[in-house]
Structure 1
Amino acid sequence: MGRILFYLKNMNICFYHICDEVEAKETEKFQFPLCCLPALAANEVVKSLNIPERIKLAITSRRMENLVKRASSKTPLTYAFYVYNENPQIYIENQKEEVAIIGETTWKEDQTNCIGIRQLVPWLNWKRSNLWNMTHVLRKIRRIIPTGRFELSLNTDKLSVEFLKKLIAIPELNTMQMLKIGKQIESDILRILMDWCPKNVTFVICTDSIVPSDFHHEKALKFSTVIYYDARWVKVQDLFTLENSDEVRLCDNILTSEDMNRFLGFWMESDLDMFREFSMWADTLDIREVLKDIMHVKTSRDGRDYSMIKSTQKLKMMSVIIEEGYLRLHVYSPEESFQKEYKVLELMEQKNKLETELQALEGDEAGARKLTMEIREVKKELDSNCTFFDGKTGIIAQ
């Protein structure tokens, strides 16, 4: 019997009748217009197409546009609006890593994946600018094929302030979930972007970027996710402004052990949810200096050594670890993990508080005896929960 395969060619459905694994015969009598297929069959044909093929089909007519829209309703894509040298391009990818590049490009990509300006003519308005047209194409494609994620990627070395202001005035770009910027970054460009960018986005300064060392912005560390490969401009005072971030990642930086010690102390006293995860390059950091004078519990999980600290303002605790050249901080609620460590920190805190109260008592023997008994009970409970403890450090041996 063999196998029957089909493909789309010039708006016609062509069938291959494969008789065996070597010979493939094209049967012309099975070639007919796509528009003549029943709706269900046409829908299945479109589902078999890759991203560039679907877009090229949608360009041909409003009917094909609607067909592609129906067939693509459950396949959200990742969209990137990429601006290099003030020349916008649209980059689209699905979960199968199929890619489409739309616009004039010199990227070394498979040309079958590229859709050039000439192919987009039915969707373009030649009285408008290239920026307007590419934004219009982006808007149109996103209405046809749903968006899973939308990114804006800028080569800021090639952008003028005038062009950037036109760019950020486009409403379509306000729906992005991620902003990526690269190359040489001027302070005025970065300030405009941070002023404009909503806090619920991922803000990325890419690996090849250089930020002026004196740069400062009050929103710089207030985005949902912060990934700065050049973070040499970040000062410890900037870290104090963190608020409600899911992830903060600082690569190349000049922060010291003393800076991070101050930061941990600030976090312990803060009544804000500053971040969930924090990491930074830590080649020059000393964990002993980072934790100096900070109450902490040392413990182990899954072959990794952690130092746990506790917030004095909220029911939160943080794991502190230096590994593979990174300082990694992770914030937990006591219900999530490290319940025993949290209990030990509470007991150590209670013991220190009682000892301070005892030292302040003068001439109250009854009160002193009561506090001494309470301290003895706390120490007894500490002995049953950890291997070692003193004023600032506890150890739980696993």
Structure 2
Amino acid sequence: MCFWNIDTSIPKHKPFLIMKLPLVPFKLVTEFMDSNEIYYGEDNTFLMIEHCSSNTVLDLFKCISAVFSCPSVRWNFYLDELRTETMMHCLNLSLLEKCTGFSFMKGSLSTSLLTELMDKIPVSKRLEIGSDIPIDFKHPNALKYYVTKYNNGRWITMNDLKSIRNVGWIELKSTIFGCNDVNEFLRYWVNCEEDMLKLLDLNLKEGAFIDVDALTDQLITVRVEGASSPHFFIKAKNHKHRKFVLGHLEIDNDNLVRFSAWEAVADIHLLEILELLERKKELEEKISMIEKRENQSGISNFSQEIRKKRMHMQNYDF
């Protein structure tokens, strides 16, 4: 793209202002560039330019945005290569431009810096953090972003998961959760009166093993037979204020538990089956309560008969 490496000698020839070209000549010129000047991905959908200053990157972004329609713009910050001041400078400028998400990779984030980032970045954006996060970190927006990915999710608690509302996708690559914890979350999802999320990818804690019975304990499920890995469907109890009433639980490799919430429009028959199973369980519980009352009543009557007989015997002895 006619940028040379920083801190190297200035080229003899003045750089050609390629971004000033109209679209058709731009494409013609880039077709004749070699790999040292321009890099295309296998699907020819992205362009990568290396060894630029932060100001150059921002200027380049503005030029590209002026030439191309960019439906998705994500800024990636590598903390092992950027000073904090530079990163915050770029973040503040990028927030003024069109962007859909931010990624912070490598290195580590202090509580104060991560708090500042989450205070600044709107929850409508996509947030991905591959950097280390303090185990005691807390922020009200941590799980409110429409798409959230954390390589280190060991600081997230069950109460944090239960607070999720109306988000798209949450990915936690390392957690403190086991199968019983996931079951607790699923039972909360079933009884919640609001939509929580569309997709949750969660890796169980280190050393945990998959226990299907623990995952589905006290849940009404329909199991998908013949699948390569265990698949289950559950349903939300309250349909009044919820759009995504079908839940799909998939157990994948490497202790990955994937839970997704669906609309029931295309799977109305599955919803009906789950509703029948739910009704069946309710009737069984009612029958059990009736039998328990009858047994208690029978025991009470039997006790009264015993007392009467004892009184009769005492009177007889007298």
Q: Residues 93, 143 of structure 1: CA spacing in aligned structure 2 closer, same or farther, 3 A cutoff?
A: farther
Query: Alpha-carbon deviation of 1:70?
Result: 6.0
Q: Aligned to 2:215, which of 275, 290, 295?
A: 290
CA change 1:350–1:278 in 2 (3 A) is: same
| Offset at residue 303 of structure 1 (A) | 4.7
Residue matched to 2:124: 200
Deviation for aligned residue 1:346? 0.7
Given candidates 265, 276, 279, the residue that maps to 1:350 is: 279
2:74 aligns with 151
Structure 1 residues 174 and 142, CA, compared in 2 at 3 Å: closer, same or farther? closer
Find the aligned partners of 2:117 and 2:154 in 1 and give their Cα distance.
19
SS at match of 2:151: strand
| 1:336 counterpart residue number | 266
Which residues in structure 2 correspond to 1:231-246 (within 5 Å)? 231-246=153-168
Alignment partner of 1:327: what SS?
Answer: strand
Taking the aligned partners of 1:308 and 1:60, their CA distance within structure 2 comes to 59
How far apart are 1:145 and its partner, in Å?
A: 3.2
**1:138 alignment partner AA:** F
Structure 1 residue matching 2:247: 3-state secondary structure: strand
Once the 2 structures are TM-superposed, how far is the Cα of residue 345 of structure 1 from its aligned partner? 1.8
What is the rounded CA distance, in whole Å, between the counterparts of 1:257 and 1:193 in structure 2?
Answer: 32
Aligned with residue 323 of structure 1, among 248, 252, 257: 252
Count of residue pairs brought into register by the alignment = 260
- Percent identity reads 19
Aligned position for 2:60:
137
1:185 paired with 2:114, answer no
TM-fit CA distance, 1:357: 5.0
Is the CA contact 2:182–2:215 (under 8 Å) kept in the aligned structure 1?
yes
- The structure with more strand, counted as a fraction of residues: 1
Deviations, residues 148-189 of structure 1 (Å, cap 9, x unaligned): 431111123565555444333325555222211122121222
Is the deviation greater in 95-104 or in 313-322? 95-104
How high is the TM-score relative to the length of structure 2? 0.69
Distance (whole Å) between structure 2 residues aligned to residue 259 and residue 185 of structure 1:
27
| Secondary structure class of the residue paired with 1:272 | coil
Tell whether the 8 Å contact from 1:103 to 1:134 is kept in structure 2 after alignment. Answer: no
Shift of 1:257: 1.9
Q: Deviations over 1:269-293 (max 9, x none)?
A: 1122211121122361422112222
1:271 paired residue number: 193
What CA distance in whole angstroms lies between the structure 2 residues aligned with 1:168 and 1:53? 25
CA distance in 1, matches of 2:271, 2:229: 18
How far the C-alpha of 1:218 sits from its partner, in A, is 1.5
Higher relative CO (Cα under 8 Å, sequence separation at least 6) belongs to 2
Matched letter for residue 234 of structure 1:
I
Structure 1 unpaired stretches of 5+: 1-51, 74-90, 105-129, 363-398
- Would the aligned equivalents of 2:190 and 2:235 in 1 still touch at CA under 8 Å? yes
| Partners of 2:127 and 2:147 within 8 A in 1 | yes
Deviation of 1:259 after TM superposition, in Å, equals: 1.6
Give the Å deviation of 1:253: 1.5
- Residue 307 (structure 1) shift: 1.8
Shift of 1:361: 7.0
Q: Say if 1:92 and 1:99, in contact at 8 Å, map to a contact too.
A: yes
Following superposition, the deviation at residue 302 of structure 1 comes to 4.9
For the pair 1:68 / 2:17, whether they are aligned, the reply is no
Deviation at 1:101, TM superposition (A): 0.9
SS at match of 2:115: helix
| Contact kept in structure 2, 1:92 and 1:100, CA below 8 Å | yes
